[in-house]
Amino acid sequence: MAESLSKSVQELVVNGNELPERYIISKGKGFDGTIDSSLPVIEIPVIDLGSLTSTAPAGEAELQKLRSALSSCGCFQLINHGMESSYLDQVHEVGKKFFALSKEEKVKCSRTVDDTEGYGNDTLFPQQQTVDWTDRLYLTVNPQQQRKLSVWPQNPQSFREILDEYTKKLEELNTIILKAMAKSLNLEENCFLKQYGELAKATVIARFNYYPPCPRPDLALGVKPHADASAITFLLQDKKVEGLQVLNNGQWFRVPTSPHSLLINVGDQVEIMSNGLLKSPVHRVVTNSERERMTLAVFFVPHSEQVIEPVEELVTDKRPRLYRKVKDYVSIYFENYQLGKRPIQAVLL
C-alpha cells in the first residue's frame, strides 16, 4: 500500500533537519553507489529547428546530425524553436513563484495518497524505500477533459494561462520532431506520428521539479536513475544551476545548462518504435548544498490504447525485431520502475 511523506523536502530544509534515512540512496537497483557532481561534461548536440525543417541541403545535414545525436546520447538541445527568451523566463518564473508560496497556499494543490496529480513529493511504496530529494507539481494537461483543475494553482494568477499556452507550443514542436526523427531514419515522415495517435487523445503531462539545497548531496539524489516512459520529453532547465546527469556508454556525464534552448530526449516508446536505433537515455539528478534548482519537464505520451511496436521497415535480417508489441506502456513502466527494474527490458523479445 502506498503512503505519502509527512513533510515536503522544502520543509526539511527550512527546519534545518539532518538528511532523513529514507533519502539516503544505497547501492543496487541501477545505482552504482557514487554521487559525483564533478563528472565530465557531455557535449549535447545542438539542433537548429529552422535548418531541421529546411528543404535546402542544410536540412539534410541537420537530419543526419539529429540521427547521430539520438542514436548516441539520446538527447539534444533545440534552438531557434520560435519561443522568445523572455517568454521562457516567464514560464520558468511562474514555477519558481509557486514553490516560493507559503505552505498553506501550496497545499491547496496537494495530491492525494493514491494519485500522482498535484503538489507533493515521492509516494512511498513497500518495495521502494529510497525517495527523491525533490518536491513536484505534477499536472495532466492533455486530454483537456482529464485536467484536474482542483490541483492546478490559481496563484500565481497567470499560472494556468502560461502553462496552457506553453504546452500548446510544445505540441506543435512534438509533431515536428516526431516527423524529423522518422525522416532521419529514411522513413515516411508520419510513421512515428501514426503510432503516437490522435493529438487530442494523447497524454501530455507537465512536471515542475523543485530541488532545495541538500545537506548531504553525496548521499541523496534529486531523481534516481531512470529513462522516460514518454515518446518525447521536453525539459526547460534551470538557467544557472546544473544537476542533470546522463548515462552514456556506462559512464555518468554532467549535462550543462543551456539558457533558452529546450533539452529534448527520446522516451522509451520512441526507442521501441525505432527498434532500438534511437536511444532513450538513462538519466538522474544530483543535488547541491547551496542553491535551489527548478526545472519543468513536459512528457508527450501516446494514448494507452495505441499499439506501439518497431516500425516494419526497421526490422531486417541483420537487425531483427527487438521489442514486442505493447499497449499502455506507462503501466508496464511504473510496475517495473517501482521494483527497481529498467522498464523497457520487460518488453524485449
The band of 326, judged by pLDDT with boundaries at 50, 70 and 90, is very high
pLDDT tens track for 106-121? 999 998 877 889 999 8
State how beta strands 135-142 and 118-120 pair. Answer: antiparallel
Least confident window among 23-32, 85-94, 166-175, 225-234: 23-32
pLDDT for the residue numbered 1: 37
Per the DSSP assignment, residues forming a β-bridge with 77 are 46, 263
Least Cα distance to 347 among 306, 305, 310 occurs for 310
Euclidean distance between CA atoms 342 and 337, whole angstroms: 6
Cell numbers placing 316: 531486417
Residue 318 DSSP one-character state: S
Whether pLDDT at 189 is above 70: yes
Euclidean distance between CA atoms 63 and 115, whole angstroms: 40
Helix, strand, or coil (residue 106) = helix
Whether pLDDT at 5 is above 60: no
Q: What is the pTM of this model?
A: 0.94
Euclidean distance between CA atoms 169 and 147, whole angstroms: 18
**Mean pLDDT computed over 74-85:** 96
Least Cα distance to 203 among 299, 268, 296 occurs for 299
Angle between helical axes of 57-72 and 159-184 (0-180°, round to 10): 100
Whether pLDDT at 2 is above 60: no
Check: CB of residue 147 under 8 Å from CB of residue 108: no
For the four alpha carbons of 147, 151, 156 and 157, in that order, the dihedral sign comes to positive
pLDDT for the residue numbered 332: 94
Euclidean distance between CA atoms 334 and 349, whole angstroms: 19
Show the CA angle centred on residue 35, arms to residues 244 and 260, nearest 5°. 15
Burial label for 195, CB within 10 Å (0-12, 13-18, 19+), is buried
**Mean pLDDT computed over 185-204:** 96
Check: CB of residue 249 under 8 Å from CB of residue 295: no
Check: CB of residue 166 under 8 Å from CB of residue 172: no
Asked if residue 217 has a cis previous peptide bond (ω within 30° of 0), the answer is no
Work out the mean pLDDT of the chain and round it to a whole number.
Answer: 91
